[in-house]
Amino acid sequence: MEYNFDKVINRKEGNCRKWSNHVLKEKFGLGEDAIPMDLADIDFECSPAIKEAIAKRAAVGDYSYTFVGDDFYDAVIDWNKRRFNVDIEKEWIKLTFGTVSTLHYIVQAYTKEGEGVLINTPAYDPFAEAVENNSRQLYCSPLKLVDNRYYLDFEDMEEQMKSNNIKVFIFCSPQNPSGRIWTKDELYRVSELCLKYNVLLVCDEIHRDIVFDRSKFTSLWNAHPEIHENSIVCVSPNKGFNLGGLKTSYVVIRNEEVRETLLTRLKSNSITSPNVFAVPAIVAAYNESEEWLDQMTVYVAGNFEIVYDFFEKNMPKAKVMKSESSFLAWIDVREIFVNEEEMRDFFIKANLTMVVGSYFVRDGEGFVRINIGCPRATLNEALNRIKNTYEDLFC
C-alpha cells in the first residue's frame, strides 16, 4: 500500500502544542500563519492501523483504569527481534509514562544527592534537567566536531568516569540533535568504559525507528556481550509513529537487581495504569504499521536531500550536518549570525520557530535545529521564507 505523506493535516484542530496559536504567540511572539519547526514530532497523519485501533478502542465506551496485557509484550518482543535483532523477554519490559520522566526516576533510583551523572554534549536538555532537578552533579563530555561530524571523546569520558564519581551515564543513540548513528565499535568502547568503572549505562534509543540505512544501526545490547547486565535501554514508538501524547515509552532491563531497583522507584511514585489508548496504539504500530514507517522514513530522507541542496545553493555559509536518522536538521550557522539573539530575530522575521543550539546544555552555541518531518509543501514554504529573509538581510 502506498501512503500519502504529502497530505497536509490541520494539527491546530487537535490542540497540538507545536501548532497551537497560543504557544506560537506566547513563546515565540508569532502569529497563526507561522510554521513551527521546533518541537520534535512529525506533521504526518498517523498510520491507518493506529487510527483504526484507537477508534476501535474508543468505541468500547469504557475509559477506566487499564493494564498492560500480553498483546503489548508480544508486540514489543517481536518488534525488537524483527527490526533490530534484539532478543528480549517479557519480564525485562516495563511500560512507563514518557522517556523524560523515566530519566528522572532513573536518576532518583540509582544515584544519591551530589553523585555524578555523565552526558555527552550537545544533548537534549531534559537529560541535564533529570540530573539537576534531583540535586545530582552533572558532568558533560563534549563531542568532538570534525569535518561537520560528531565523534565521541573516549579519553575525556574515561577521565570523567575515573575522577568524578560517575554513577550513571545517559547516552543517546542515535544522537539528538545531530542524527549521528554510533558504530558498533563505538558502542563497544562506551560499554567497556561503563563496565570498567561500574557506571550504569542508560541508553536512549527513542530515535532508532527512523534510520535511513538500517544496516548502520546497532542496538546497544548487540554491541557488547556483557553490557545488558549493566544497562537500561529506553525505547519509545513516539518518534517513529508520532504517539507522544499517549505516553507510550518503555524500558528494557535484563539485570534483575537493576530492574527491581527501578520498579521500586516507580511504585513509590505510583506509576501504575497506562493511558487507555497507549497499548492499542503500540500494538498497531509494531504489528501493522511497519510498511508505513518504512515509507515515511524514505520520505524524510528525501526531505533531508532537499534541505542539503537548499542551503548549499542559497546559504552556503550554513553547514547542515549529514543526518543518518530522525527528522531533525542540525545546522551550523556560526558564519552567518553574530550571536543567538541575531539568529532568533532572523527566524522570527521568517515567521518560523526553531530550537537554538544553547538549548542543548552545552557546546551547541551557534547551531540551530529545525524539524523537517513534514509534508513537502510545508518544508518548501519554510525554506522559501528562510531564503527571502536571508536575501532581505544579507544580500
Partnered with residue 146 across adjacent β-strands are: 149
| Burial (CB count <10 Å: 0-12, 13-18, 19+), residue 132 | middle
Verify that 40 and 83 share a domain, yes or no. no
- The span from the CA of 50 to the CA of 32, in Å, is 29
Verify that 189 and 132 share a domain, yes or no. yes
Verify that 37 and 88 share a domain, yes or no. no
Residue 24 pLDDT level (bands cut at 50, 70, 90): very high
How confident is the model at residue 5, as a pLDDT?
Answer: 98
E strand or H helix that includes residue 170: strand 166-172
Residue 184 pLDDT level (bands cut at 50, 70, 90): very high
Neighbour tally for 281: CB within 10 Å: 27
Verify that 31 and 77 share a domain, yes or no. no
What CATH number did the domain enclosing 39 receive?
A: 3.90.1150.10
Verify that 85 and 196 share a domain, yes or no. yes
Please determine, for residue 199, whether its predicted confidence score (pLDDT) is greater than 90.
Answer: yes
Instruction: Specify the pTM.
Output: 0.97
Residue 258 pLDDT level (bands cut at 50, 70, 90): very high
Radius of gyration of the CA atoms of the chain, in A: 21
Position 207 in a domain? yes
Domain final residue pick, 288, 320, 336:
288
Domain around 275:
62-288
94-139 confidence digits (pLDDT tens): 999 899 999 999 999 999 999 999 999 999 999 999 999 999 999 9
Position 341 in a domain? yes
344-385 confidence digits (pLDDT tens): 999 999 999 999 999 999 999 999 999 999 999 999 999 999
What CATH number did the domain enclosing 160 receive?
A: 3.40.640.10
88-99 confidence digits (pLDDT tens): 999 999 999 899
**3-state DSSP percent of the chain in helix, strand and coil, to 5:** 45, 15, 40
The β-bridge relationship of strands 250-252 and 319-320 is unpaired
Verify that 303 and 355 share a domain, yes or no. yes
Please determine, for residue 38, whether its predicted confidence score (pLDDT) is greater than 80.
Answer: yes
Domain final residue pick, 288, 307, 322:
288
